[in-house]
Structure 1
Amino acid sequence: MLTKLFYGFCLLMTISFYAQNKTGIQFQDKNLEEAKKLAEQENKLIFIDLYTTWCGPCKLMKKNTFPNPELGEFFNKNFISLYIDAEKEGTQLAKKFKIVNYPSFLFLDQNGELVQYDFGYYNAAQFLNIGQSVLEKRNPNKKIKTLEEVKGKMAGETIANFTAKDQFNKTFSLSAEKKKTVLVFIRGQWCPYCNKYIESLQNLAPELQSKNTRLVIISPEKPEFIEKTISKTKTQYSVLYDENYRIAELFDVLYTPEKKTLDFYENRLGDDFKKSRSDNSGRLPVSATYILDENQKIIWRHFNPDYKERASLEDILKQL
């Protein structure tokens, strides 16, 4: 009897361990040559975490960062990931790439050539940004959409989970919202139409609460500029920083204004435009509004390339 209980306990522990390891980045038990062949077959890049057993930040990455579900979803989709001890099977790699810092992160193409190198401790959100920058390097000729070309996600489509920090430094996760969600894209605190619209949205607060619906504002601006949005509009809704435009890209509302428009904004607004966003590309989101159900499916949208035209409060309420 005791023997059966013991084996049953061991089986449960094995299943539990396996389940825990199914979240986050899935590191494969392969050598570099095997990884190169698989990367070519699956059209992926190669990510190598080069660690040592005595390295504190290495252990923290393994414990705190790599298990993150969103990070895992992104890396498992785009990379063949290897976890290699630099002082054992990874000695040749350390020598080839002249590694002196740990943990070291090697991002290689399908031929084993270096695409990007990084090192040190990063949290999940920071490391996700690194992974995204690697993909951008892989696709330098990726077409940047104009305002006429961007179409926005349509009703009926399901949006992948995303996370972002709000003005309270709290993490918003779409998949954690077990209710309807209204997502409002704004261009920034420098846009008077955006500010006026945010002020008007506050009138929806009682109705949203009664209908178990959450409204979230999505801004491409850094936290210090989002503070200006809060100050100008006195909004009590969560305002998310869309770092690197990840959310805008998910909804296909991201575009680059034509040069004369960019020149006008930069000359007229100065640092409020140039330094407010993740980069200097000048990209902006269409001022769209989306309503998603509890399963992250779009049930309604207002998409108008004209930033002066916004979803009416009446139309939003009709869809809830």
Structure 2
Amino acid sequence: MLLTVIGIAFANDIDLDQIVHDAKKTNKHILVFLHITGCNYCLKMQEFTFDDEKVEAEIKKDFIFVDINVRDEGIVSFDGLKVSKLKFAKEIGYPMYPSCLFFDQNGELVYDEVGYRDEAKFLDTLHLVSTKAYNDVE
């Protein structure tokens, strides 16, 4: 399963500031997957999209994957915020699930997708972000 294969920030508390630092050192983008227990589309992304071998390989190569279930216990620290996972999602403007947020090595949100994406569409998104083609998207 993807969540055990790739490098993941995977604890009750998530220090996104440290993850940004790690992204800078490894020259990777950060992919934050926001989801909620009981969401069928979230589960579908976990079981199909993220479990796809090609998707796994792309994420492992170019991203630091951060899995945030907003109903889980724990605090997210990021850019001066230190709040619950649910409050974090709301504070940054993403109270809809699933949401995939892509941050660059400076901690800037550079791209997002809200809602379910199948494997092929998500691979396109990963390529768009890893090649920084989001700079060309209006």
Percent identity at matched positions?
A: 31
SS in 2 for 1:126: helix
Q: How far apart, CA to CA, are the structure 1 residues paired with 2:3 and 2:90?
A: 33
Listed as ranges, the gaps of 5+ residues in structure 2 are 75-84
Match of 2:79 in 1: none
Q: How far apart, CA to CA, are the structure 2 residues paired with 1:20 and 1:52?
A: 16
Match of 2:115 among 111, 120, 124: 120
Answer 1 or 2: which has greater strand percent. Answer: 2
1:139 shift after superposition: 7.8
Match of 1:38 in 2: 22
Match of 1:107 in 2: 102
Match of 2:8 in 1: 27
Letter in 2 for 1:58: C
Q: How far apart, CA to CA, are the structure 2 residues paired with 1:36 and 1:135?
A: 15
Counterparts in 2 of 1:100 and 1:20: CA distance versus 1, 3 Å: closer
1:27 shift after superposition: 3.3
**Structure possessing the higher relative contact order (Cα contacts under 8 Å, 6 or more residues apart):** 2
Counterparts in 2 of 1:44 and 1:70: CA distance versus 1, 3 Å: same
Match of 2:124 in 1: 129
Match of 1:47 in 2: 31
SS in 1 for 2:10: coil
Letter in 2 for 1:116: Y
Match of 2:60 in 1: 76
Q: How many residues align?
A: 122
Match of 2:86 in 1: 91
1:121 shift after superposition: 1.2
Match of 1:65 in 2: 49
**Does the aligned pair in 2 maintain the 1:26–1:72 contact within 8 Å?**
no
Counterparts in 2 of 1:42 and 1:138: CA distance versus 1, 3 Å: farther
Deviations 1:183-227, CA, capped at 9 Å, x for gaps: xxxxxxxxxxxxxxxxxxxxxxxxxxxxxxxxxxxxxxxxxxxxx
**Does the aligned pair in 1 maintain the 2:128–2:134 contact within 8 Å?**
no
**Does the aligned pair in 2 maintain the 1:28–1:83 contact within 8 Å?**
yes
SS in 1 for 2:51: coil
- TM-score (norm. length: structure 2): 0.76
Give the RMSD, CA atoms, in angstroms. 2.5
Q: How far apart, CA to CA, are the structure 2 residues paired with 1:94 and 1:33?
A: 16
Structure number, greater radius of gyration: 1
